[in-house]
Amino acid sequence: MKTKRLVGVMLLGTTLLLTFLASSKALEKSDFPQGTATPSETCGECHKAIYREFALGFGSDLDYKDITLKSSSDKRLSLPAQVSASATAHAFAGVDPFPIHARGSEEEGRSCNVCHFPEAFSLPDMESLEIAKPKPRPKGQEIGGLTCASCHLTPEGKIRGPYQVKAPHDTVMEPKMQTSEICAYCHSLGKRVEGKQTQSFLEWREDFHKKGLGKQHCQDCHMPRTMRKSAEDFDEPVRAIGRHLWTGGRSKQRLSSALSMVVVQKEARKKDLDFHIINIAAGHSVPTGSNRRGIYLIAEVINQAGKIVANQEWLFAPWYGNRPDDRAFLEEDKKRPDAAAAMQADAQGPHENILLAGEERILPWKPSLKSGTYTVQARLIYDLNRYNSRNFKQDQTELNRASLRMVVKE
């Protein structure tokens, strides 16, 4: 009897010990009580290289440039001192001081930047006709902007990633993390409207992916992979891991690879010119994203004395809404809840539509020239905010330039 009791006590003790260890282990698992507001620094304690890329843009050519909202006299939007000037767009999303943020200027402080403060979401289906906005975090949790958890935390409280791993937190393998679907919610809002802003995912899906221009997903260009561990201090294999850089509008390397340009004199000794602008490398429209983004094509004809004798300019930019920007709608805009933003776009007037993936746009120009020898110079200038003063050049990047010697005989 004593032996049986002793065995029983030992079994009970073992059961209790295992239960305690199991519960202790469960307590060790992070349940992310702050949800997507969990600071990225928390993740960086284990995912050191990934956090370094996210927070510092480490290993990229990212360059955070000051921008202004309206004119060169406006106070500039710049990063707080504790954030590196080369931080990624995701790292500094939502951390600009709110009083001078665009939404404070144009939207009377309303929380229009839902994508910068999303709650945990499920990934949409690739073929969804309309991409809805994610649910925003409560206003008190907006500080900090996008975090690692914004993309990786599931509504069930698990961390999704492209591989099956063992970690101190609950994880789930999600193949969609290696496809453009992970980008869809925040980089395409609503239904596809060709030419409208914030359509990047739909531009990729409809104009690039479905038309067979390539097999690349967003990550192939914006998150180039490298061989490493995702968490350096853990016993896991070295494998292909995407770099968390998201090089885009603040990367000259990414910008300069998007468009090519050719200047053509259509007939010998005639002054008729064609400018061929080709979206040769972007898997979406150019420029894409915010309607603030713009690309200027600036053409100049220079005589043999070095004087500019003719010039022409074109602007490529997304529409603010579902129609082309046009001054004809200014009075109607005054009645809108987003009047400031809508009027800002329409006041600039009509412009060239954005270049679709794979598109070659031909722009004709017939400058008024006398007989002589000239040099045509053309430049493509990317502007982070086309609404501010053209005299403010700190947020501009030259993408490409071309020149052509031409003889005109009238």
Q: What is the 3-state secondary structure (H, E, C) of 291-342?
A: CCCEEEEEEEEECCCCCEEEEEEEEECCECCCCCCCHHHHHHHCCCCCHHHH
Q: May I ask the CATH class of domain 253-318+354-408?
A: mainly beta
Whole-number Å distance between alpha carbons of 95 and 311: 40
Q: Domain boundaries in the chain?
A: 35-247, 253-318+354-408
Virtual torsion, Cα 37, 203, 362, 365, nearest 10 deg: -40
Whole-number Å distance between alpha carbons of 73 and 321: 28
pLDDT at site 379: 98
User: 297 vs 34, 39, 265, CA distance in Å?
Assistant: 47, 41, 17
Q: Whose CA is closest to 118, among 72, 77, 153?
A: 153
Residue 278 forms beta bridges with which residues? 260, 360
Tell me the chain's radius of gyration from C-alpha atoms: 27
Give the distance from CA 331 to its chain's centroid.
32
Whole-number Å distance between alpha carbons of 176 and 269: 56
Whole-number Å distance between alpha carbons of 180 and 225: 15
Q: Say if residues 222 and 250 touch (Cβ distance below 8 Å).
A: no
Contacts of 45 (CB under 8 A, 6+ apart): none
Peptide bond into 136 cis (omega under 30): no
pLDDT at site 410: 81
pLDDT at site 106: 52
pLDDT at site 78: 65
For residue 217, what is the enclosing H or E element? none
Model pTM score? 0.85
3-state secondary structure of 218: helix
Mean pLDDT per 10-residue interval, the chain, length 410 residues = 40 38 40 87 92 88 76 68 72 57 50 74 85 78 80 95 91 94 89 94 96 96 94 92 91 91 96 97 95 96 97 97 96 93 94 98 97 97 92 91 94
Residue spans of alpha helices (H) in 96-146:
102-106
Burial class (CB in 10 A: 0-12, 13-18, 19+), 103: middle
